[in-house]
Chain A
Amino acid sequence: MIKKTCLSLAIGLLCLGNVAAESVFVTLEHDNALAIVDPIAGKLIKTIPIGQRPRGIAISPDYKYLYIATSDDNTIKIIDAVSFKEIGQLPSGKDPETFALNPAGNRIYVSNEDDSLVTVIDVAKKKAIKQIKVGVEPEGITVSPDNRWLVSASETTNMVHWIDTKTNTIVENTLVDPRPRAVSFTADSQQLWVSSEMAGSVMVLDANNQQLIKTIKFEISGITADKIQPVGVVIDKERHRAYVALGPANRVAVINAQSFEVEKILLVGQRVWNLAFSPDQKRLYTTNGTSNDMSIIDLDSQTVTKSIAVGTYPWGVVVKP
């Protein structure tokens, strides 16, 4: 009886272990590689050469494929998420950095910064099907979870462009604070959060009328305002909290997504750039560009639990359950 109980307990623990296991993939801009991290064990598992200057990264909705923008190869590579073998390339246009995958996983939208274009790619056919003229230096790009909007942010024009995904044409433009970097929708597709690097702010826009709801500013004692440069922004599924990477301020801001108050500022590595949730949204992973590591934030206790060295210039981050 005792043996049986122990066995079932062991199996249970094993299953629990399997459930909890997840892999974090981090692109390493200077190492031309992809770092694979086990965040539960807090260890770098391995580093794989991936292509020249990898930056933007996305994972397919079925978690089978990784899409990695290798900027100096002028392509987006399709990588098998199990064997890590390259299985194809997508015609991204010149110097791809950021791109967005639609919820169905059949379209990729690439910001072509130098040409002020957004390239629409049919993933299955591996073909560019349209190029959309947008503002100067498009950077942040995202698709709303309901697949209605594609939003592109132009760094120099200081504008977000609302593009209808059915027609691939700009429907509306909204002026935002100087140098918008990242754009992110809430899970209900009702709000768009836009980080502005030079203004040191995050603007929350209403997706229904494209108007401003609130501008969030950040203050950190001991840190000068010019160091506060918001980049990556993510909002949890329940829209309880949003998290903003504050770049050279080396901190992540925790924002109450209902009241838009900054609740807490967490110290992470240097020049924190991009953010990704764990699948259960209990942890947040950050890429810290100049300290060459990633930090793990426990979201229940709102504390940074560990920073793991991953390689030179970690840039993008995605998580596979």
Chain B
Amino acid sequence: MNFLHYWCAMSGIIGRELWRFITQRERFISALVRPLIWLFVFAAGFRAALGLAITPPYETYILYEVYITPGLIGMIQLFNGMQSSLSMVYDREMGSMRILMVCPLPRWFLLLSKLLAGTFVSILQVYVFLGIAWFYDIHAPWQGYLWVIPTLMLSGLMLGALGLLLSSFIKQLENFAGVMNFVIFPMFFMSTALYPLWKMKESSALLATLAEYNPFSQAVELIRFALYGQFNQQAFFYTLGAFIVFMAAAIVGYNPSKGMMSKKGGA
């Protein structure tokens, strides 16, 4: 197996995912509409509700819309990660997973390629979202728009790995609703995406602690700092650690002899 084989498989998987995303116009629009509704409707309503305090990386007072933008970027990547987990379940039901799995390349490589494909799609969505937000007067320093790329890669991979891990547990497409209720919503709401930690501490110390250790919060903070040209070391290592744990668990989960696949009777 040489490098070309690996490249061929990876580009095939990424190409398929990107093509699927672009041709599915409804998916493209719905992926954008969700964060935009939060930005234009939810954030507008809460504009005056959020008290004032300057916390890094911000150096002055910001509107609520500005605060939740990195959170909504995280939301795009979270939903995208789950969407790719949904597509794994779909692939398994439709049988295309079998074709992928019989490919004579290591399983971890195929899963990583799948993850990268999902991450590229999410980055595409994020930049379209940031473009629209620009016209809504949400501006970051221009360097921030470049700095954010590597962090989006890491956070996208971490959330995608979580999705992969979950997909190894889900037998049928219908079970995805459970993922929404038990994973996406708690992860999103119990994070720093919508409210800063200091604000949460005012109402509940427990909630603030949960939010602090939520890997989604750390990914959002990593994005938030990068968008303003700063590097959040703690968030970086936390997100990286979470990615390694989720990825390792997903690889085990997709191992026919050890993981969840054997219990479900394979792909």
Contacts and interface: CB of A to CB of B under 8 A. Distances in A.
Q: Do A and B originate from a single complex?
A: yes
Interface of A: 42, 222-223, 250, 267-270, 291, 293, 295-296, 303-307
A307 B63 contact: no
Contacts of A270: 52
A303 B62 CA distance: 11
B48 interface: yes
Given A270-B52, A291-B52, A307 B44 contact: no
Contacts of B47: 222
Contacts of A307: 54, 59-61
Interface of B: 44, 47-48, 52, 54, 59-63, 139
28 contacts: A42-B59, A222-B44, A222-B47, A222-B48, A223-B48, A250-B52, A250-B61, A267-B60, A267-B61, A267-B62, A268-B60, A268-B61, A269-B52, A269-B61, A270-B52, A291-B52, A291-B61, A295-B61, A296-B60, A303-B139, A304-B60, A305-B59, A305-B60, A306-B59, A306-B60, A307-B54, A307-B59, A307-B61
Contacts of B62: 267
A250 B60 CA distance: 12
B61 A304 contact: yes
Given A295-B61, A306-B59, 19 more contacts: A222-B44, A222-B47, A250-B52, A250-B61, A267-B60, A267-B61, A269-B52, A269-B61, A291-B52, A291-B61, A296-B60, A303-B139, A304-B60, A305-B59, A305-B60, A306-B60, A307-B54, A307-B60, A307-B61
Q: Give the interface SS of chain B, mostly helix, strand, loop or mixed.
A: loop
A223 B49 CA distance: 11
Contacts of B52: 250, 269-270, 291
Nearest to A270: B52
Contacts of A268: 60-61
B48 to A, nearest CB: 5
B192 to A, nearest CB: 21
A109 B62 CA distance: 39
A40 to B, nearest CB: 14
A306 B63 CA distance: 14
Nearest to B44: A222
